[in-house]
Amino acid sequence: MKYKKLGNSDLMVSVLALGTWGLGGGSVWSDKDSTAAEAARLLDACKEQGINYIDTAPVYGTGASETLLGKALEGRRHDFILQTKCSLNWRGEGGNFHYSRDGYTVNNDTRGPAIRRDVEDALRRMGTDYLDSLIVHYVCKSFPVAETVDTLEALVREGKIRAYGLSNSQPADLEEYMSAPEKKQGVSLVQEFFSILSPFHGRDYFPVCQKHNVSFQTYGVLEEGFLTGPAFLEKTFAKTDIRSRIPWVQPEYHAGLRRVFAAWQPLCAAKGCSFAQLVEAWALTQYEQMSLLVGMRRPEHAAANAACLDIALTPEEIGFMEDAVREIQVPVLDK
């Protein structure tokens, strides 16, 4: 495993991070509900591979992911860098409507009291007294950035969190957070969607991250499974499932994706890797302070994903991979 500092913080994190959206199950991930025992085995496998960085959020299964992780972390909390999020909650205490799902109404609220309540709820669910990293889940223009930053900085001083970051944001948001008068430590990372099929937002963000010494954490690099190979294209999903709401589930994209896999197959053979590992290796070439967040629900996924770190790609191979997907890339992909 390889490790890097998380932006301007003193946290040393594995380049590969465990994403736990899928652990939350529910209608968004309709094919599997995880148990605490399965979550514990997943953490066992991550530790074996040297993966020390875990990402979750309160709304992943409306508390289910955090609760499962809390049980799985019993007795080994200090083995992992634990990251969760704030701003999205279903307490009915105000904020902007975000969505309704599985009988809950979720609002987005970046005001100070809401952030503090989010943190206390997360600490309780996960059975810990501090968070290593806290991410503003959806940057919101309705409430003062100064209040949000002041609260985050206060939580750092109080020892409740060690670092903080932004997600589902724009480069201008990072600039605003980093120029807030209340800023002392500042943003350590941004967590944004980025894939070879839709790389444009990330590439716009990289220079601003570099300017402020901020890590960029990708999610969606495997396009929820659609870049793992042609067999995935045969799957069907419930209408509520996240995988039914992205372009690649539509038959009109399948021919293009199959052409991509056919083009990449010789490169996979030469590297001795899977399509997924090839795509992950590509992502790691895109930014020096890249953190690769990959959703995993089964122990065997840890070793399979960690193998991407052993793949070296030349500039020519990177260009070849990008040329193969150019005709089917999409500029914006909001899940």
Model pLDDT, residue 101 = 87
Q: Is residue 179 part of a domain?
A: yes
Domain that holds residue 16: 3-230+283-307
Tell me whether strands 104-108 and 215-219 are parallel, antiparallel or unpaired: unpaired
Model pLDDT, residue 40 = 95
Whole-structure pTM value: 0.94
Q: What is the pLDDT of residues 272-309, one digit of tens each?
A: 999 999 999 999 999 999 999 999 988 999 999 999 99
The parts of the chain modelled with pLDDT lower than 70 are: 29-32, 333-335
Token pair 């629900």 is found at 297
Q: Is residue 143 part of a domain?
A: yes
What SS3 state is found at 244? helix
Model pLDDT, residue 251 = 87
Identify the DSSP state of 198: B
Model pLDDT, residue 250 = 86
Q: Is residue 328 part of a domain?
A: no
Model pLDDT, residue 334 = 56
**Number of domains present in the structure of the chain:** 1
* Geometric angle at alpha carbon 197, from 167 and 272, rounded to 5°: 105
- The pair of three-digit structure tokens given for residue 15, joined into one six-digit string: 């380049």
Q: What is the pLDDT of residues 236-267, one digit of tens each?
A: 887 777 787 888 888 889 999 999 999 999 99
Return the CATH number at 92: 3.20.20.100
Q: Is residue 248 part of a domain?
A: no
Q: Is residue 40 part of a domain?
A: yes
Q: Is residue 200 part of a domain?
A: yes
Q: Is residue 335 part of a domain?
A: no
The residue ranges of DSSP E strands in 141-289, in sequence order, are 161-167, 189-193, 215-219
CA distance 59 to 65: 8
What are the backbone angles phi and psi of residue 57, rounded to the nearest 5°? -165, 150
Residue 188 vs residues 114, 134, 212, 276, 289: alpha-carbon distances, Å? 21, 10, 9, 28, 11
